[in-house]
Amino acid sequence: MNGLEFGEGVARHHAPLVQRAAVIAGSLGQAGAVALRDSTDRSPPAPRMRTITLERGPSCQILRESAERLTLRYGDSASDTSLAALLAAMARPGTPVAADPESLSILALAERLAASEIPVLINGPTGTGKEVLSRFIHDHSPRRSGPFIAVNCAAMPEAMLEALLFGHKKGAFTGASEANEGFFRAADGGTLLLDEVAEMPLALQAKLLRALQEGEVVPIGATQPIKVDVRVIACANRDLAVEVAEGRFRADLFYRLNVFPLALRPLRDRPDDIAPLAFALALRHAPSGRAVPWISDSALAMLKLHGWPGNVRELENVMRRALLLSEGTGMIATSHIVFDQPARLVSSEPESPETGTGRLSNIVQLSEARAIMDTLEACGGSRIAAARQLGISERTLRYRLASFREAGIEIGRMRAGARA
């Protein structure tokens, strides 16, 4: 995400859309990387800037003229859907897309960390965007002109991981017909991302600790250390403190990496990120030269109801299927949303194992729907109190209730069924 540049005409014709987008973009601290213009503006686009032309009208879509030139046609400037589409259009490939307050606070903190040399440990489930956040830190650091090397420790053969990380001399072992500098030296002057660091063998963790403490590596077969200037970012999808307690991770390495931990929560706990991420993924995978279909409000409400066990990677799968199913319609609707894992789905009547009823257009998760209705009833119908008790925002609660109505679920009947 980047800051915005726009003139008075854009502010006048497209408020409050650009005002809300500017607040989100400004929270990341780099202004002037994206230019917004009105469709009536005939001046040439700003060079070396991503330029988004805004146009209000009955048909909603995103047109991609080139990698850096887009047109956003939308209907309601106060709509969360329009904001999500604009945030997605603003983001370059590989950069974070966020609107959830917690996600924005993590990005703001990451930008402050980027200016330092403090080691960073990023925790979070698989598929939550740890590598994207790591690259964000690199791109906002004084090392941005240096290399960014990402290494997945779980994907490397254990027998080769040491040689791949620290390098080796020619003839150091069978098959070493050529010398190799290793990832540490390849990242010299830049950033080395060690993803899934919890998978690193204990014996190799000691050598990693020395590399971090001394700023030097000893390639296999060498006798003299080689100085390296590398900032290390480590990522883990398991709790390293638990790994230490159970003897699978060195305590001294953990404390060396854990100088400033960042935690990415599962996608289901960041509901305001889902809509802009969905639009961003649609932009990424839509066929070149075609308009990117709009995502309907009911489809977005349906996405927000899902539990997302696969996080952003699962959302990417869902959006790729939706693009295929919606081809030629210009709109991604609820009927185009197909999840990776079948959820327990219901219509307005509880689904029985014998009938297996329930259409895709009126899907909700029964357990979640009943929990929300029971909580609402216990709170005397107060959405503010119910949202607080459920641990979600009032906006998220509104989305869920709207989705129930969209699916044809009668709230009163569900309450009566729950009491019965």
Instruction: Compute the residue count for the chain.
Output: 420
* 144 bridge partner residues: none
Which residue spans of the chain are classified as CATH 1.10.10? Answer: 345-419
Percent of the chain with pLDDT over 70: 84
Q: What is the pLDDT of residues 201-247, one digit of tens each?
A: 998 999 999 999 999 998 888 888 899 999 999 999 989 999 999 99
Distance, in Å, from the CA atom of 223 to the CA atom of 221, rounded to the nearest integer, reads 7
Q: Place domain 101-263 in its CATH homologous superfamily.
A: P-loop containing nucleotide triphosphate hydrolases (3.40.50.300)
For residue 65, the tally of other CB atoms under 10 A from its CB is 12
- In angstroms, the CA 360 to CA 130 distance is 32
Mean pLDDT of 185-214: 93
Which CATH code fits 345-419?
Answer: 1.10.10
Backbone angles phi, psi at 169, to 5 degrees: -85, 155
Q: Where in the chain is the domain with CATH 1.10.8.60?
A: 4-100+270-336
SS3 69: strand
* pLDDT tens digits, 57-75: 888 999 988 888 999 999 9
Amino acid at 282: A
What is the DSSP code (8-state) at residue 335? Answer: G
The residue ranking higher by pLDDT, 343 or 261, is 261
Structural Rg of the chain based on CA atoms: 25
Q: Indicate the fold that domain 4-100+270-336 takes in CATH.
A: Helicase, Ruva Protein; domain 3 (1.10.8)
- The Cα–Cα gap between 102 and 267 comes to 12
Task: Give yes or no for a contact between 332 and 299, defined as CB atoms under 8 angstroms apart.
Answer: yes
Range with the lowest mean pLDDT among 20-24, 80-84, 320-324?
20-24
Kindly report the pTM of this predicted structure. Answer: 0.78
Q: What is the 3-state secondary structure (H, E, C) of 263-288?
A: ECCCHHHCHHHHHHHHHHHHHHHCCC
Task: Tell me how far apart the alpha carbons of residues 58 and 76 are, in angstroms, rounded to a whole number.
Answer: 9
For residue 198, the SS3 value is helix
pLDDT at 404: 61
Helix/strand/coil for 420 = coil
